[in-house]
Amino acid sequence: MKRLSPVDRAAMERAIEMLRRRGGQDAQQIEDKLARDPWERVGEFAAYACQDSALHLKPWQWPPCWLRTDDAVERALAAPALDPKGLRVAGDLVRRLLAAGLSRYEPDPIAALERIER
């Protein structure tokens, strides 16, 4: 994994904290992962879990955090408009997040963009 920017690290920290606050199995799972896995991997997992929930993704759809490189974003933006994986939507979200100075790992991308746009 490439070195995380401060913006990416902060977004992952928020995602981990969100899972802790959910309590129950989510909190236990994130604590178990923190005890055994590299922090960056746990941060990616937490970002995915939060984005999946916030964006109401179907099991086959891609969250923005899975588009880890600029090349991946460009390929996603070139996907057909009705791509069932939602690649173009994920790519557009990453493009907007990065343009706003945010991270592709934002736990709730839409809410983060709305805060910036206000």
Q: 118 pLDDT band (50/70/90 cuts)? A: confident
The alpha carbon of residue 111 and the mean position of all alpha carbons in its chain are separated, in whole angstroms, by 12
Residue pLDDT, tens place only, 85-109: 999 999 999 999 999 999 999 999 9
What is the average pLDDT across 48-63?
97
Rounded distance, CA 31 to CA 44, Å? 14
The pTM of this model reads 0.93
Q: Are 94 and 67 in contact (CB under 8 A)?
A: yes
Residue 36 falls within a domain, yes or no? yes
Provide the residue range defining the domain that includes 49: 6-117
Q: Are 106 and 94 in contact (CB under 8 A)?
A: no
| pLDDT of residue 2 exceeding 80 | no
pLDDT value, residue 3: 83
Residue pLDDT, tens place only, 5-38: 999 999 999 999 999 999 999 999 999 999 999 9
How many domains does one find in the chain?
1
Residue 47 falls within a domain, yes or no? yes
